[in-house]
Amino acid sequence: MTKMDPQAFIRLSIGSLGLRIPGSALRSSKTGIRAFSSPCSWWKGSHCGVGVKRQQIGTFKLEVGPEWGQGKPVILFNGWIGIGKNKHESGKPGAELHLRVQLDPDPRYVFQFEDVTMLSPQIVQLRGSIKQPIFSCEFSRDRVAKVDPLGTYWTGSADSSDIETERRERKGWKVKIHDLSGSAVAAAFITTPFVPSTGCDWVAKSNPGAWLIVRPDICRPESWLPWGKLEAWRERGIRDSICCRFHLLSEAQDGAEVLMSEILISAEKGGEFFIDTDRQMRQGPTPIPSPQSSGDFSALSPIAGGFVMSCRVQGEGKSSKPLVQLAMRHVTCVEDAAIFMALAAAVDLSIEACKPFRRKIRIGSRHSL
Beta bridge mates, 136: 122, 178
Query: What's the pLDDT score for residue 368?
Result: 33
Indicate left, alpha or beta for 10 from its phi (over 0: left) and psi (-120 to 50: alpha): beta
Query: What's the pLDDT score for residue 15?
Result: 83
Q: Provide the strand spans (E) within 48-202.
A: 74-82, 96-105, 108-113, 122-127, 130-140, 174-178, 184-192
Cβ contact 10:105 at 8 Å: yes
The residues spanned by each domain of the chain are 13-104, 108-353
Query: What's the pLDDT score for residue 24?
Result: 57
Query: How confident is the model over 138-168, as pLDDT tens digits?
Result: 999 865 444 444 544 444 444 444 455 555 6
Residues in the chain predicted with pLDDT less than 70, given as ranges, are 1-3, 23-28, 30-57, 84-93, 142-168, 251-255, 280-305, 359-369
**H or E element at residue 272:** strand 271-276
The C-alpha atoms of residue 110 and residue 172 are separated, in whole angstroms, by 29
Query: How long a stretch of residues is the chain?
Result: 369
The DSSP symbol for 197 reads P
Query: What's the pLDDT score for residue 314?
Result: 93
The C-alpha atoms of residue 157 and residue 160 are separated, in whole angstroms, by 8
Angle at 367 between CA 363 and CA 369, to 5 degrees: 80
Query: What's the pLDDT score for residue 278?
Result: 73
Among candidates 213, 211, 2, which has minimal Cα distance to 124?
A: 2
Cβ contact 305:299 at 8 Å: yes
